[in-house]
Amino acid sequence: MTDATAATGAPAQARRPFASLLTLDEHTKRRNATEARFKAYGLAAVLAGLFFLVVLFVSIISNGIPAFTRMVVELDFTLTQAQFDEAESQLLKTGAYQGYFVEGFDKALEERGVEVEYDAAVLDRLIGKVGGIMREFYAANPDKIGEEVVFELPTSSRVDGYFNGRLKREDVSDSRFLEASDLDLADELYEAGIIKSDFNWTFITGADSGVDNPGGAGIGASVVGSFFMMIVVLALSLPIGVATSIYLEEFAPKNWFTDLIEVNISNLAAVPSIVFGILGLAVFIQFAGLPQSAPLVGGLVLTLMTLPTIIISTRASLKAVPPSIRDAALGVGASKMQSVFHHVLPLAMPGILTGTIIGLAQALGETAPLLLIGMVGFVARGYPDSFLTGFTEANSAMPAQIYTWAARADASFYEKAWGGIIVLLLFLMTMNIIAIILRRRFERRW
């Protein structure tokens, strides 16, 4: 352009040549193109992200939903007092109940007009030995003797898999667990409405059941384990974290020592979680002698992990409170402590709460350190006896339970693992929603 003006012999203070505003010049065109490209990249990234999110959700839900349903054999059954007395007097009591069950089963088939040949061993393979279950029921509810009772008996995991499509008939190799011909009976029963689909409450309320019984496995006990851990994490990390941040941000002198502490806190946030696990094993279990696999220890380890997150976010939100508010408080004669607790802290509250809940959500999903301190899935065999023993009794936590299930050979545990992930995500979503609500509630308009 300088050349051009020089060539036309323009005066030294070269004026820009006339340019119409109605046409875009080269420079503007290039700038606009760059901007459009940048927007396109952004949009593409968002769309790709959404796509993968949808894929993730679809696969989690489609894999996990079967864990929430199960196939049950529904049977109306009446046990007479005479039968009860007779069974209880025999040597093999559960065997007697099994006999009554087969009788009742035959009657039910007859009533619904199903004509099919089978032997008792097939029933064993389809629903296992139910005599024990029935005896337990009548021992607990003696008043039900003589009344009609509806039994819902879960089918074996293979039959379950056959009905929800996991197991194909042609893949069945005859074994003591299932023979391909058993499925004919299963199909007949399904059409007759004796086998039907039911919501799997055991999965919600149950405990881990052991390698050979996927049907009885539930996530309930490890949800309770996670709950007790979260109580420990919240009760320790929120007060310690907030107090630390207030001291460092508002009261501590700024010198090399506090700088060192600050750098170390930031670094701790990036330490791999398994390191905290082995630290917990060495310090809390081996040195301090706390019980192994206890939610208390898990909570302590996760507290160590959560503290840096809470401290960093709390300090950031304290810093974001405008200094004019501190000046105002000091100006009317408030002490440092009063200005912090009456004015600065309430204003920083939304940020602190958000940071805390993000920290808790992180802790809730942490697996590696729990495996090291013994909170593995198969430990979650039942509910604690009381609230206090909930902290010390061996238990697992949701992510560790999911990990254990995913590692098991039986394919129906795989489905439980996906189901467990759905439960875990529900908890995380709830926590995030609570965070948003609290944030809205505490936010003040300026």
The contact set with another protein (CB under 8 A) reads: 253-254, 322, 324-335, 338, 342-343, 347, 444-446
Nearer to another protein, 27 or 254 (CB): 254
Measured from the CB of residue 332, what is the shortest distance to another protein in angstroms? 4
> What angle, rounded to 10 degrees, do the helices at 273-280 and 295-319 form?
130
Q: What are phi and psi of 196, to 5 degrees?
A: -145, 170
Measured from the CB of residue 346, what is the shortest distance to another protein in angstroms? 8
Burial class of residue 320, CB neighbours in 10 A (0-12, 13-18, 19+):
exposed
H/E segment holding residue 429 = helix 411-442
Nearer to another protein, 326 or 381 (CB): 326
Contact between 122 and 102 (Cβ < 8 Å): no
Angstrom distance (rounded) from CA 33 to CA 285 = 62
Measured from the CB of residue 266, what is the shortest distance to another protein in angstroms? 22
- Give the single-character DSSP code of 15: P
Integer-rounded Cα Rg, in Å, for the chain is 33
Nearer to another protein, 185 or 321 (CB): 321
Nearer to another protein, 271 or 328 (CB): 328
Cα 300–303–304 angle (5° rounding)?
95
Measured from the CB of residue 445, what is the shortest distance to another protein in angstroms? 7
Measured from the CB of residue 254, what is the shortest distance to another protein in angstroms? 6
Cβ neighbors of 189 (< 8 A, separation 6 or more) are 73, 114, 195
Measured from the CB of residue 336, what is the shortest distance to another protein in angstroms? 8
Amino acid (1-letter code) at residue 159? V
- Give the single-character DSSP code of 255: S
Measured from the CB of residue 326, what is the shortest distance to another protein in angstroms? 8
Contact between 81 and 135 (Cβ < 8 Å): no
**Residue found by looking up tokens 């600065």 in the block:** 344
Nearest residue to 281 (alpha-carbon basis) of 167, 147, 374, 159: 374
Nearer to another protein, 17 or 322 (CB): 322
Measured from the CB of residue 442, what is the shortest distance to another protein in angstroms? 11
Measured from the CB of residue 358, what is the shortest distance to another protein in angstroms? 25
Q: How many residues belong to the chain?
A: 446
Nearer to another protein, 166 or 326 (CB): 326
Nearer to another protein, 92 or 260 (CB): 260
Angstrom distance (rounded) from CA 433 to CA 442 = 14
Nearer to another protein, 224 or 329 (CB): 329
Nearest residue to 94 (alpha-carbon basis) of 133, 121, 125: 133
Nearer to another protein, 116 or 328 (CB): 328
Nearest residue to 134 (alpha-carbon basis) of 111, 100, 108: 100
| Token duo for residue 56 | 């993730």
Measured from the CB of residue 52, what is the shortest distance to another protein in angstroms? 41
Beta strand extents in 23-101 (DSSP E only): 69-78
